[in-house]
Amino acid sequence: MEKRFMKSGLAALFCVAALAALPVQAQQHLRLGVVELPPSRGNPYGGSGTPGIFTWSMFYDGLTFVDTKGVPGAALGQTWRNSDPTTWEFKLRAGVKFDNGEALDAEAVAAAVNWLLSEQGKAQVVAREVSNFASARAVDASTVEFKTKTPDAILPSRMANIFIVAPKAWKDSGLEGYSNKPVGTGSYRVESWAAEKVVLAARSDSWRPAKIPRVESISLPERPARTQALLSGQLDVVIGVDTGDIQRIRAAGAEVAIAPAPQVISLSMPNRVKPNSPFNDKRVRQAANFAVNKKAIVDGLFEGQAQVATQGATPTAFGYNPNVKGYPYDPDRAKKLLAEAGHPNGFKAVAEVVVGSFAGDSEMYQLMAQDLSKVGIQVELRPIRFPDWLRKYQSNGWDGDTFGLSWQLAPYMDVIRAVAYYSCAQRPAVFFCDEETQKVIDASNSELDKAKREKLLHQVQERYFDLAPALWLVEAIDVYGLSKRVRNFKDVNRTLLYHEMTLGG
């Protein structure tokens, strides 16, 4: 099992050597090492969150930007209001242009949303954000109106996840052409997009101008290669550093930034993938949660920086339920539940997981599998690349019985963001569904009173604790390695504020 996860030193050295062959970076040139570039390239609707956000946030914007407390603030939209329960009006920021010169106006915003509502658009991952939308229209050049089928309590937060594309370029290029040559409103414009590297140049006319003239975002899937490239001076910022390398990086004179990732790392246990899967039985899913010593994983791998996950949310998310205390480590109870479910001798299962995105994730899955084996659940871990994972996710075409899927809370910082994945309304393919819980989820989506909505979300968390749709493991952290010359590094819900970064001597 370990060999499937541990990348060879030879491969890591090859990656670093290839990187070192590049020209020496200029004084004002930022080189970024990421785990993956977005599989949908410059199409911001083909994925959501990791890994795209680390690249897209340089050249795309939404109407809002949600802070670490879950409060939506102004971005392309400056103000917004409910004119009635199913109507929202946004006033747009004046004077914003796409990097090809097109104006950011209400027609552009309406066109982006209406494309997501089209038959072609509905196939995109981000289309689920507008599944409750009835229409979008320009009231005037600076005002866009959204009509929803039912009240949507968090529509302003949803708009942080919908990046606006240039309507003429989108129409002229088509989805594939735009993916290869994206046009945005952000701090940078894309100069070139290759398989393993995106080159971006700062825009002098951006509404949020950058201080660093040039950025290269380089895909290095192997964590040792990223760390070595940082230490050798070939990279300025690396994402996904292992906690075990923190002291090594600091000893070499570089810096480390640690931020809570608004995600819960988990192993999904779907009840809508295979008709005869043991995980279709709630008792089996509960047994898996009792079987894993999560505190030992956190203490052993995360050096006190992370927390055991109690539910599919972190404490900073709206709707987190402090009364849900999580599953204690109780292997005897796990064995009893397995026997009650008809598996006294356990069973075998295949889990498809992506590793390398978070500190300690590969080792964490190994320790999880070891604990599961002690109660009879023999899990074969199959690491896959994120593009393959995304393809399987979109089609519900899993080869295994389970799969890794973080409970992603950004950019909303709202429980419903993660819950929506594990719901009967999940699109494009439902992998977990409980009809009674879905009624509470639907009610929370329509409840505009904040206090009442919070109570409904607490109910959802209590129900999901009982249903155990996932094996909740760790509240994720992000560990970044930084060269000494990087200044003003900021992470807001996994969005790096590139336009605020500077480079010293």
Q: What is the pLDDT of residues 234-259, one digit of tens each?
A: 999 999 888 888 999 999 999 999 98
Amino acid at 131: S
Quickly state the pLDDT bin for 4 (edges 50, 70, 90). very low
Q: For 168-178, how does the pLDDT look when each residue is reduced to its tens digit (9 = 90+)?
A: 999 999 999 99
**Cα radius of gyration (the chain):** 23
Strand 470-482 and strand 402-404: the pairing is: unpaired
Distance CA 284, CA 336 (A): 10
φ, ψ for residue 451, nearest 5 deg: -65, -40
Q: In this structure, is the dihedral angle defined by the CA atoms of residues 368, 374, 377 and 381, taken in order, positive or negative?
A: positive
pTM: 0.84
Q: For 303-352, how does the pLDDT look when each residue is reduced to its tens digit (9 = 90+)?
A: 777 899 999 999 989 999 999 999 999 999 999 999 999 999 999 999 99
DSSP state of 97: B
Report the C-alpha dihedral over residues 460, 466, 471, 475, rounded to 10 degrees: 50
Q: 421: closest CA among 412, 411, 413, 431?
A: 431
φ, ψ for residue 217, nearest 5 deg: -105, 115
Phi-psi region of 321 (alpha: psi -120 to 50; beta: other; left: phi over 0): beta
Quick check: 33 pLDDT over 90?
Answer: yes
**Cα 129 off chain centre by:** 14
Counting residues of the chain whose pLDDT is more than 70, the rounded percentage is 93
Q: 76: closest CA among 87, 88, 60, 89?
A: 60
Least confident of 271-280, 309-318, 388-397: 388-397
CA dist list (Å): 355 to 222, 230, 424: 10, 20, 27
Strand 402-404 and strand 133-140: the pairing is: unpaired
Token pair of 500 as six digits: 């605020």
Q: In this structure, is the dihedral angle defined by the CA atoms of residues 62, 63, 65 and 69, taken in order, positive or negative?
A: negative
DSSP assignment of 305-318 equals SSEE--SSS-TTSB
Count the helices and strands in the chain (H runs, E runs): 16, 22
Q: For each of the domains in the chain, give its residue range(s) and CATH number, in order of start.
A: 27-59+171-259+479-503 (3.40.190.10), 64-166 (3.40.190.10), 261-478 (3.10.105.10)
Instruction: Classify 263 as helix, strand or coil.
Output: strand
